[in-house]
């Protein structure tokens, strides 16, 4: 099982405990409780949800509609001019595996036939090797997210076994989650999906820096 899930090797757990300042004896006696605490800590935004909504709701609506309409020329204008935009296929944001593209590159990605490696598929661990147009269908706009009834502003709604480290990766961000709790009743909610848009501010303007897809993982 990968580091993105809650099964944490002892050495990593010890380092994490020491760096967090938590009593090591208590944490090791109940590692699951410690991991739960660490996850909650990583999910704490700097900007509270109500304020985040006031700041970003209009911008987020603009971006989700651009993604829906595949208008990447206009989307490029709202992508962070220095950092570009990072694509994360699952909740765990990986600085080593996730692909990052500049605003300029985004304009031409739909016609780019290059098969990039975007990370690894959950479960099998096989590389996610897709051209952008296929990645978009599977890990960006896989559902009609612009019509989602549940929207979280700096508040996560969906959650599975994969560690959600979004606020560690983007500590000064506003993250907007578009969430569908279920599609087919027979799966009892295990078929939920979310799309998270990550925004960071530069000189008073909020730019898109991350697109995170999330769903139930095993």
List pLDDT tens digits, range 25-52.
Answer: 444 555 554 444 445 445 568 899 999 9
Q: Are residues 92 and 200 in the same domain?
A: yes
* Same domain (yes/no): 27, 91: no
**1 lies in the same domain as 86:** no
Residues 92 and 193 in one domain: yes
Cα gap 79→94, rounded to integer Å: 19
Same domain, yes or no: 24 and 64: no
Give yes or no: residues 52 and 37 share one domain.
no
Q: Which of 14, 15, 7, 10 is nearest to 32 (CA)?
A: 7
According to the model, what pLDDT value does residue 8 have?
41
Quick one: 115 and 210 in the same domain? yes
CATH number at residue 62: 3.10.450
Q: Is 173 found in the same domain as 73?
A: yes
Q: Judge if 9 and 91 occupy the same domain.
A: no
pLDDT beneath 50, residues of the chain: 1-3, 5-27, 33-38, 40-41
Q: Are residues 3 and 75 in the same domain?
A: no
Q: How many domains does the chain have?
A: 2
Angle 108-109-112 from CA coordinates, rounded to 5°:
95
Domain that holds residue 151: 46-215
Query: Residues with Cβ < 8 Å from 58, sequence gap 6 or more?
Result: none
Measured CA to CA, the distance from residue 127 to residue 116 in angstroms comes to: 10
Are residues 16 and 4 located together in one domain of the fold?
A: yes
Residues 67 and 26 reside in one and the same domain? no
């Amino acid at each position: 099982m990968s580091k993105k899930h809650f099964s944490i090797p002892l050495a990593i757990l010890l380092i994490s405990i020491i760096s967090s300042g938590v009593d090591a004896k208590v944490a090791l006696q109940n590692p699951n409780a410690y991991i739960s605490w660490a996850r909650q800590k990583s999910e704490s935004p700097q900007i509270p949800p109500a304020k985040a909504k006031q700041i970003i709701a209009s911008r987020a609506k603009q971006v989700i509609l651009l993604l829906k309409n595949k208008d990447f020329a206009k989307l490029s204008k709202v992508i962070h001019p220095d950092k570009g935009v990072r694509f994360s296929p699952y909740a765990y944001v990986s600085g080593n595996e996730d692909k990052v593209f500049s605003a300029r590159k985004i304009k031409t990605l739909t016609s780019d036939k290059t098969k990039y490696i975007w990370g690894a598929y959950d479960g099998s661990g096989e590389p996610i090797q897709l051209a952008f147009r296929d990645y978009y269908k599977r890990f960006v706009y896989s559902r009609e997210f612009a019509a989602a009834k549940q929207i979280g502003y700096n508040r996560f709604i969906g959650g599975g076994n994969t560690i959600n480290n979004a606020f560690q990766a983007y500590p000064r961000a506003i993250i907007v989650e578009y969430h569908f709790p279920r599609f087919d009743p027979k799966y009892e909610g295990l078929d939920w999906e979310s799309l998270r848009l990550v925004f960071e501010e530069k000189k008073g303007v909020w730019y898109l820096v991350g697109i995170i897809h999330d769903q139930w993982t095993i």
